[in-house]
Structure 1
Amino acid sequence: MSWNVAAIEEDTSRELSVGELLERANRDHPDLDQPVLIQGDIAIKSEADRNADPCTARSCLWRKWTDGKVYIPYYIANHYSSREQSIITRGLESFSTVSCIHFRPYQNGDNEWLSIESRDGCYSFVGRQGGAQTVSLSRQGCLYHGTVQHELLHALGFNHEQTRSDRDNHIRVQWENIIDGMEYNFDKIATLNQGTSYDYSSVMQYEKYAFSKNNRPTMVPIPNSNVSFGQATQMSRNDIDRLNRLYKCCKYTAENVGKPCNSLQSLKTERGLCPLECPFGK
């Protein structure tokens, strides 16, 4: 299996990182008729949710079927051009080649689905919400392969890398450089790290100047401050591995590529793991 997910084709100049694209697209995000946003692009239903991890606080995962796959309905608004729809579709399809996640078109009778629309900016709720769940991919700045993947990972239950519970072992937050009133965007939460290491190359890692008020870094990697981070343009191998661990897509996890795994067998074990073939519960 190849772990390479197609790179962004839409940029003809230097590839901007997902973090840079999100910052540009959401720079002037208005308050009216839009959900509250935290961490730049995570939508929450009310201010009461600002300090809670919306995924670990409740069951946020999408349903897994008896064939071992997770089918998630989606609807793409008709205000996108055919080219724009193809960018979104390519992002959706990139998940099925590396995981048990399969996005499929909405059908009558579906009770919950992703409603992909061009609202103001790029944003998504974290995890399954029920009913029509908005994923905003604005035609003005959000239609890039990595950005589509980033917002879909939010919808699947993932938070930003820099909010990981073990963040302080890998990133030093430069609080003095953060825009006044925006410090909450760097709060740590009890993330589901799935036994994986911190990933500087994650598509969920923001770049080092995120929310900076003085053009100085708001995050510095430690212990080596020269490590490059926040430059991803697509899902990393670690992102893919975490996704498969979270949804227990046994045969797709990094250490099990090419090994047989009966997805139904995993349902019989205590933690839903395939014994022996999927030892990621260590």
Structure 2
Amino acid sequence: MYKKNPGGSGCTAQVHTENPRSAGGMSVFRFSALRAAVCLLSHYERIRSDNDPILTGGDIAIGSEDERNADPCTSQGCKWGKNADGKVYVPYYITNHFSDREKAIITRGLESFSSFSCIRFRPSRSSDRDWLSIESQNGCYSFVGRRGGKQVVSLARRGCLYHGTVQHELLHALGFNHEQTRSDRDNHIKVLLQNVQSGMEHNFRKIATLNQGTPYDYNSVMQYHKTAFSKNNQPTMVPIPNANVSFGNAKEMSRNDKARLNTLYKCCECQHEHVIQNKYTCTHVFNIEFGPNPPLCCFTVTEEAFSDVLTDDQRLPDQQKMQP
């Protein structure tokens, strides 16, 4: 079932009718978050004012046209800094554009990162030089990586307030691009430019991305739907070699999304004197399992811990002596 977007953009979105709501007399529907967001982005590019940032890739804000073909996160200073305790604290401020219910959706997305990574979003302080200003502007968008100073993340009240969309924009702010712009994307999807809206072709340009040793992920929260920016409701992207693979429907970050984040920010970097890096997942650190290519993770090696897991050749010399 499809409904017109109530914001007047003319967007259509798939509605999950089991939970319709009403807010101020306006029907609010839960629909495919990424599809709705992409539709709003297309609408945004038609109504953008001179005060709005230039967008590339649909929802990636850039400072000038010169940045359109660049990967902003290959430059030094893109990442948010790591604290002495091994955590990466990212200050944020949620503006008063949002209701309490809407703030709760945003907060849930912010707090979700602490359950599987060393990222900690925290409320900003007056002493913070760099922070995310989460606002309801025209559409959903974010800059890629840390830019310095006040950095806007736009989550429009009409169309962007979904858990997956919040995570998507925050991943941009942490330094990640879209899955379909990966450097190796031509091995996994075919872009059908003949179906792309005129003027939207730049959203499908490849970027020389660093993929953190993970495979292309059709289930990534950074992967757009197959009809993104379509002018005729026909696919703009087709998976290869199997065109029947479903993609672009993620409701939250995938295992590979989490693995890339932890690798980029070295969340599994050894922090203790007696540690060992091995093939095991970070279950004991972040209580998650990564995909088929997990980063090297760290464990504190003691006589009590992991004695039933580590073999002799995995133990450090001084720890080998501790074994009976």
Change (3 A) 1:250 1:123: same
Task: Please say if 1:27 is aligned against 2:42.
Answer: yes
State the Cα deviation string for residues 100-119 of structure 1 (Å, max 9, x = none): 00000011110000000111
TM-score w.r.t. the length of structure 2 is: 0.74
Q: CA separation in 2, counterparts of 1:158 and 1:87?
A: 21
What SS does the corresponding residue of 2:73 show, helix, strand or coil? coil
What SS does the corresponding residue of 2:180 show, helix, strand or coil? helix
Does structure 2 conserve the Cα–Cα contact (< 8 Å) formed by 1:21 and 1:147?
no
Task: Please say if 1:142 is aligned against 2:160.
Answer: yes
Q: CA separation in 1, counterparts of 2:222 and 2:285?
A: 30
The code of the aligned residue for 2:100 comes to S
Shift of 1:64: 0.4
Does structure 2 conserve the Cα–Cα contact (< 8 Å) formed by 1:251 and 1:258?
no
Task: Give the equivalent residue in structure 2 for 1:129.
Answer: 147
The CA RMSD over aligned residues, in Å, is 2.5
Q: How does 1:1-282 map to 2 (within 5 A)?
A: 12=19, 16-29=31-44, 30-32=47-49, 33-250=51-268, 255-259=280-284
The code of the aligned residue for 1:179 comes to Q
Q: CA separation in 2, counterparts of 1:107 and 1:59?
A: 21
Task: Give the equivalent residue in structure 2 for 1:4.
Answer: none
Shift of 1:185: 1.1
State the Cα deviation string for residues 188-219 of structure 1 (Å, max 9, x = none): 11111000000000000000001111211110
Change (3 A) 1:58 1:131: same
Does structure 2 conserve the Cα–Cα contact (< 8 Å) formed by 1:251 and 1:257?
no
State the Cα deviation string for residues 52-94 of structure 1 (Å, max 9, x = none): 1111134310000111100000000012111111111000000
Q: CA separation in 1, counterparts of 2:230 and 2:238?
A: 12
Shift of 1:184: 1.5
State the Cα deviation string for residues 137-156 of structure 1 (Å, max 9, x = none): 11111111111000000000
Shift of 1:276: 8.7
Change (3 A) 1:43 1:254: farther
Change (3 A) 1:235 1:255: farther
Query: Which has the larger Rg?
Result: 2
Change (3 A) 1:210 1:179: same
Does structure 1 conserve the Cα–Cα contact (< 8 Å) formed by 2:39 and 2:228?
no
The code of the aligned residue for 1:25 comes to L
Shift of 1:12: 2.4
User: Which deviates further from its counterpart, 26-35 or 135-144?
Assistant: 26-35
Does structure 2 conserve the Cα–Cα contact (< 8 Å) formed by 1:122 and 1:142?
yes
What SS does the corresponding residue of 1:245 show, helix, strand or coil? helix
Q: Which runs of 5+ in 1 are unaligned?
A: 1-8, 262-272, 278-282
Shift of 1:177: 1.1
Does structure 2 conserve the Cα–Cα contact (< 8 Å) formed by 1:15 and 1:233?
no
Q: CA separation in 1, counterparts of 2:142 and 2:34?
A: 15
Shift of 1:125: 0.3
Q: Which runs of 5+ in 2 are unaligned?
A: 1-15, 21-28, 271-277, 287-295, 301-324
The code of the aligned residue for 2:40 comes to A
User: Which deviates further from its counterpart, 112-121 or 249-258?
Assistant: 249-258
What SS does the corresponding residue of 2:83 show, helix, strand or coil? coil
Does structure 1 conserve the Cα–Cα contact (< 8 Å) formed by 2:39 and 2:229?
no
Which protein, 1 or 2, shows the higher relative CO under an 8 Å CA cutoff with sep ≥ 6? 1
Does structure 1 conserve the Cα–Cα contact (< 8 Å) formed by 2:17 and 2:30?
no
Q: CA separation in 2, counterparts of 1:11 and 1:147?
A: 20
- Give the number of equivalent residue pairs: 258
Q: CA separation in 1, counterparts of 2:157 and 2:191?
A: 32
